[in-house]
Structure 1
Amino acid sequence: MDSPKSKFKTLEIFLLSLAHFVHDVYTAFLSPLLPLLMDKLSLSLTRGGSLAAVMQLPSLINPLLGLLADRVNLKYFVVFAPAFTAIFMSLIGLAPNYLILLFMLFMAGISVAVFHVPAPVLIARMAGSRKGLAMSFFMVGGELARTVGPIIAVTLVAMRGLDGFWPIMFAGIATSGILFWRLRNVDLSIHKSTKNLALSRTFINLKHIFLPLAGIIAARSFMHGVLTTFLPTYIKTQSGNLWLAGLALSVLEAAGVVGVLIAGPLSDFLGRQKTLAISLIGAPVFILLFLESSGIWQFLALIGCGATLLSTTPVMLALVQEHAKESPATANGIFMMLSFVFRSSIVIFIGFLADRLGLHTTYFISALVGMLGIPFLFFLPKKSN
């Protein structure tokens, strides 16, 4: 039986999921605007990929943020991150050159890091025994943001131009204000353990989780990078239509919302390992179908890509949290670092491949590499300790 403190705290989970939605709307601006930014600043696909990578570079400090979050209350980091991310991401259209754009994205990346490390741990501690369900709610906020974010971005650019959509930042600032007002008296302490484990000790204690997850994340990052970063560029290259490019990304992310809603609760019932297997087998197949089909079939394949590929994160988060008994935030920081480092480095490599082989061939290669994550599933524990 769960204690009263471990009950599912619906209101707080909803507010933090809402914050996740607003925050990630702004981070979703980069991919649909990438073709325009590349044209404006005369960037290659390799440099275009580096824009997404530099935004994820601050993830290197995620374990340190997690270590800090296990010792002090980082509630206000989560509260104010939507405002800071909104400011920097709303200004990228004004960047006069490549270096200034890199700086803006790096600063946004710092804000992303200080939000995404403590927030899932807060969610897990407010979920009781239903961590998979709570992680699905939280991740729906992020996936839904990446669904509407591209539409918001291309609509605003069509209305106001690349350098005129900056006033959208005020929505993020207002969200942080609302969160501050509603959560100022709410105790969102993450962990109050007298055992302050070292970063290395946390990794050693959870290496049976992190090592196979690293293999899964690396393989998944090829599929994730080529779809979420370069899908608008791929569609625009094929069709010449920026609206269609933004719509394709929104369809992908909308399917991800459905996948996330299903995957978290399903993993509570079926098990984390089996749920991840469904996703990791399905995603490469749907990517290959997307490449070899057209019309409505290509549209349906894209839905399959989103539903399978984007549904793995809440399952992996729940897996980490249910095994991290003594240092949950540190464990989440290590997981987030692994995820972001693989994604940021691989997306540059994907851009390098695309410059030389073309995006179509790069998609094909990424799907094949994605299949290499399947054997790592057998090394994951089937149940928590």
Structure 2
Amino acid sequence: MASEARAERSAVGRVEPASGESTRSEDTGSDVQLVGMTWAHMVNDGAANYLPGVLPAVLLHAHEPLGLAGSLVAALAIGQVLQPLIGWVSDRLGGRAILVTGFVLTSTGGALLAWTRSLTLLIPVLVVIGIGTSLFHPQALAVARSLTRGRRGLRTAFFLVGGELGRGLWPTLASLVVAHLGLGALWIIGLPGLLTVSFLIRWAPRQPPRPALSLVPRRGSGPRGQARAFSLLVVYATLRGFAIFGLVTFVPVLWHLRGRSLVSGAGVVTTILVVGIVGNLGGGHLADRLGRRVVLVGSALAVAALVVPVGYLHGPGVWVLAGVLGCALFMTLSTTIMIGQDTFPESPSLGSGIALGLSNALGALVVLVVGLLLPDADVRLAFVAMGAASLLAAGVALGFPSSVVAEDGHLAP
């Protein structure tokens, strides 16, 4: 009794934090971590994707034909085919060591490109970069998902903005470095990564391990529904990946063939990718409000209508068109990732790896095939191929089961 009385007296005057205050504090911490992860995403994807901005210079310096541009981009992306497997392993182990390791590999590989002067050295480095970004993305996307409370589409899109900024700004930054300092100065690209590693080690949230992980279908979808959603997701995201990698590969080559500067071609790529941020955020918001199917179909149809003129137009109008195309192209990025995560609810990293990594690798392989088949004299035919692929993607989007593209943007029960 005496001990209970002392406990009651010690509790007098002690103020428990209000639940609202605790929630606000947690939300603020999550917001800070989300911003930090978005920055890391930008640095990682910048180091992994600046090659298109300097592709013509790299190929000319190595005395290789411009037709090999698709081969180099495919070598850069082929490592992403490992993302689903890495995502599954990441979910089983938890923590954050895998994403940190991938981040270090990507940044180091981006710096090493400064000293590669032949295909025998260049391609292995590109493969290492691809493996690094494959290690980073599944766990990073799962971490970002854990930091989204409400308005999942918009907040996931915010995290993805970091990657778009990196992919968009780094090609132009790299072209400026090469134009003023030469290819040997590309090691500068790796510096932001070295400065960011300490943040990831100290502040990146740890994912809980799932040692008894089982990949069961989401309730209500059934094995057949899950297989159908999985197949359509891979096809749709692969067609989108073909358009993205095709643009960043063939726009600089087309500009070079037109006698334009290296920085100018990289600038068009930057316009597509950076202005695409508006489409990413807008697409996440629209998916929350109107449903995912509307965004998937609308994005594909818009890309089909806009991508062909980009390859044929001249003058200032092409820059405006490139910006609008970027908005349409990235409207579905957060939506497809959420579909992947919802299709495999027990392994969100696996779902993310399928929606992003595997599909990007397959899309890059399509770019490789198209690049080898096209004559150097008419690269514009690649833009026609991208338009046809986007029309096909619109048809694929109509086939998604309603259980993963509920009209209100949420999962069907």
Does the TM-score normalized on the shorter chain lie above 0.5?
Answer: yes
| Offset, 1:234 | 1.2
8 Å CA contact 2:56–2:66 kept in 1: the answer is no
Which residue in 1 is equivalent to 2:317?
297
8 Å CA contact 1:284–1:368 kept in 2: the answer is yes
Asked if 1:257 corresponds to 2:298, the answer is: no
Residue 180 of structure 1, aligned match among 201, 213, 216: 201
Asked if 1:275 corresponds to 2:280, the answer is: no
| Offset, 1:192 | 4.3
Letter in 2 for 1:152: L
Deviations 1:113-157 (A, max 9, x none): 001111112211221332211211111001111221122101211
Which residue in 2 is equivalent to 1:148?
169
Question: Alpha carbons of 1:203 and 1:225: their partners in 2 closer, same or farther (altered >3 Å)?
Answer: farther
Instruction: List gaps (5 residues or longer) in structure 1.
Output: none
8 Å CA contact 1:46–1:349 kept in 2: the answer is no
Residue 149 of structure 2, aligned match among 108, 111, 128: 128
Q: Find the aligned partners of 2:138 and 2:384 in 1 and give their Cα distance.
A: 33
Give the 3-state SS of the residue equivalent to 1:229 in structure 2: helix
Q: Select between 117-126 and 217-226 the one with higher mean Cα deviation.
A: 217-226
Deviations 1:271-330 (A, max 9, x none): 111111111010111112323433232222111211111232111112222343222222
Which residue in 1 is equivalent to 2:306?
286
Question: Alpha carbons of 1:361 and 1:60: their partners in 2 closer, same or farther (altered >3 Å)?
Answer: closer
Q: Find the aligned partners of 1:166 and 1:218 in 2 and give their Cα distance.
A: 31
Question: Alpha carbons of 1:262 and 1:205: their partners in 2 closer, same or farther (altered >3 Å)?
Answer: same
Q: Find the aligned partners of 1:373 and 1:165 in 2 and give their Cα distance.
A: 37
Q: Find the aligned partners of 1:195 and 1:82 in 2 and give their Cα distance.
A: 25
Deviations 1:38-87 (A, max 9, x none): 10112234432111111222223222212112211141222343332121
Q: Find the aligned partners of 1:205 and 1:140 in 2 and give their Cα distance.
A: 31
| Offset, 1:36 | 0.6
Which residue in 1 is equivalent to 2:264?
244
Q: Find the aligned partners of 1:53 and 1:314 in 2 and give their Cα distance.
A: 23
Question: Alpha carbons of 1:7 and 1:314: their partners in 2 closer, same or farther (altered >3 Å)?
Answer: same
Asked if 1:196 corresponds to 2:196, the answer is: no
Asked if 1:102 corresponds to 2:123, the answer is: yes
| Offset, 1:223 | 2.0
Instruction: List gaps (5 residues or longer) in structure 2.
Output: 1-21
8 Å CA contact 1:16–1:138 kept in 2: the answer is yes
Letter in 2 for 1:325: P
Which residue in 1 is equivalent to 2:396?
376
Letter in 2 for 1:173: L
8 Å CA contact 1:191–1:327 kept in 2: the answer is no
Query: What is the identity percentage for the equivalent residue pairs of Structure 1 and Structure 2?
Result: 23
Deviations 1:207-245 (A, max 9, x none): 232111222123323322320222111112213311211
| Offset, 1:108 | 0.9
Asked if 1:21 corresponds to 2:39, the answer is: no
Residue 346 of structure 2, aligned match among 307, 323, 326: 326
Residue 252 of structure 2, aligned match among 232, 241, 244: 232
Asked if 1:69 corresponds to 2:87, the answer is: no
Q: Select between 298-307 and 213-222 the one with higher mean Cα deviation.
A: 213-222
Q: Find the aligned partners of 1:53 and 1:190 in 2 and give their Cα distance.
A: 34
8 Å CA contact 2:251–2:311 kept in 1: the answer is no
Which residue in 1 is equivalent to 2:59?
38
Letter in 2 for 1:15: G
Rg (Cα) greater in structure: 2
Which residue in 2 is equivalent to 1:355?
375
Asked if 1:364 corresponds to 2:384, the answer is: yes
Give the 3-state SS of the residue equivalent to 2:36 in structure 1: helix
Letter in 2 for 1:233: V
What is the total number of aligned residue pairs between the two structures?
A: 378
Give the 3-state SS of the residue equivalent to 1:70 in structure 2: helix
Give the 3-state SS of the residue equivalent to 1:230 in structure 2: helix
Q: Select between 258-267 and 347-356 the one with higher mean Cα deviation.
A: 347-356
Structure 1 stretches of 4+ with a deviation exceeding 4 A read 3-8, 190-195, 202-205
8 Å CA contact 1:236–1:244 kept in 2: the answer is no
Q: Find the aligned partners of 2:301 and 2:210 in 1 and give their Cα distance.
A: 39
Normalised by the size of structure 1, how large is the TM-score?
0.90
